[in-house]
Amino acid sequence: MSTEASQATEKPARKQQQRSVVTQQKLLDAAIEAFSENGFKGTSTRDIAERAGVHHPLITYHFKNKDKLWRAAADRVFRDFRRSLAASLEDHKDETPKERMASLIRAYVYYAKSQPALHKVMVQEASYPNERLDWLIETHLQPFFDATFEMLEQLQAIGVAAPGNPKLLFNMIRLCSGGLLALGNELKASSGIDINDDETLDEIAEMVVNLFLPGEARQPT
């Protein structure tokens, strides 16, 4: 086959591949939105296809079934979440343990604002035992949870973090940081709090830090 003929064959293939990638991204965007609003049981693949503006059979072509599409959508949201927090820790690796945890809380708040599906998906799936919740915890959350528990125990030992069960403390921080933002519409209607305002986000993060990390470092006894 001549070079010209080979290039002519490759161009349609590249275009098809690009269209395939675009279609997958549209389906993932629509799936994240639908699953976070209605949960797994309350979402149909036809609804997702309509939101994405693509033909329904393309879901089967790209993702096989609804469960695999849910996992791909959750994988994208929570993978990006973990990367965001890891980047924050890396940026503050030379700072004090308290500031590192504070930076983690700030990153959590801002990511939860940019991706409200993060906590909405968790709320939907945590409402009853299911395999998706187990998969989500094992694949994405448990490694992060374990590392954060350890950080909080260290902060408690030097008098920075509030006393108590570090696992319970972590989950209270998590709910106050990101879970609060899932109530954005309610906060706006009931209290006039606009979570789209950067100053409000900064204030939320600062209040969480002051509430749960009230102390200054001391040497452990």
122-171 pLDDT, tens per residue? 888 888 889 999 999 999 889 888 989 999 999 999 999 999 999 999 99
Per the listing, tokens 């991204």 go with 25
Residue 119, pLDDT score: 81
Q: What average pLDDT does the segment 1-6 reach?
A: 53
Residue 220, pLDDT score: 47
Calpha distance 126→186 (Å, rounded): 21
Q: Are 192 and 185 in contact (CB under 8 A)?
A: no
Average pLDDT, the chain: 88
Q: What average pLDDT does the segment 191-212 reach?
A: 92
**pTM, whole model, 2 decimals?**
0.80
Question: At 91, is the pLDDT very low, low, confident or very high (cuts 50, 70, 90)?
Answer: very high
Helix (H, G, I), strand (E, B) or coil at 37: helix
Q: Which whole-number Å values give the CA distances from 85 to 63, 100, 135, in the listed order? A: 28, 11, 20
| 5: exposed, middle or buried (Cβ count in 10 Å: 0-12, 13-18, 19+) | exposed
Q: What residue ranges define each of the domains in the chain, with the CATH number in brackets? A: 1-64 (1.10.10.60), 74-221 (1.10.357.10)
pLDDT digits (tens, 9 = 90+) for 19-65: 889 999 999 999 999 998 899 999 999 999 999 999 999 999 999 99
Instruction: Kindly tell me if the per-residue pLDDT of 101 is higher than 70.
Output: yes
Ranges of beta strands (E only) in the chain are none
Residue 10, pLDDT score: 58
Calpha distance 77→134 (Å, rounded): 16
User: How many angstroms from the chain centroid is the CA of residue 46?
Assistant: 25
